[in-house]
Amino acid sequence: MRLYLVQHGEAKSADVDPTRSLTDKGLEDVRRVAAFLQPRRLVVEAVWHSGKTRAAETAEVLAQTIAGNQGVFKRDGLAPNDPVGTVVEHLTSFDDDLAIVGHLPFLSKLASVLVTGSEEANVVAFQMSGVVCLERDQAGAWRIRWMVTPDLLS
């Protein structure tokens, strides 16, 4: 199984836009990453997002490139400060490739728990609009397979 963890694109400040939609730069960064992924023909069963506008917009752009059968879903438990245990537990019985679009510190804690068993390990330096690919082997161990960020594509 491959798990793609995506930090949402750059969002407007709350005082400019209370819903915190993506900035023009944020949207362009997500599109650039999606364009990079397109020829690699990644397909996920579903794209989950937190429901926050910036995550939903990011998920919709990426889904045009990588979404599979189930499409894009708002999923509870993916907010910035939500505990990661429920998602970790769900992933143990999930075999299809999946993308999760969310926020820090949630994504950082999730990656850390999966790779090291500790939320505090901080194993990935997430970047807005970046994608981190984790892979679970046959024995159930997770490893970081690759990462792409918008600044690498400039």
Would you state the CATH architecture of domain 2-153?
3-Layer(aba) Sandwich (3.40)
pLDDT tens over the chain, length 154 residues: 999 999 999 999 999 999 999 999 999 999 999 999 999 989 999 999 999 999 999 999 999 999 777 899 999 999 999 999 999 999 998 999 999 999 999 999 999 999 999 999 999 999 999 999 999 999 999 999 999 999 999 7
What backbone phi and psi angles, to 5 degrees, belong to 149?
Answer: -130, 155
Query: Where in the chain are the domains?
Result: 2-153
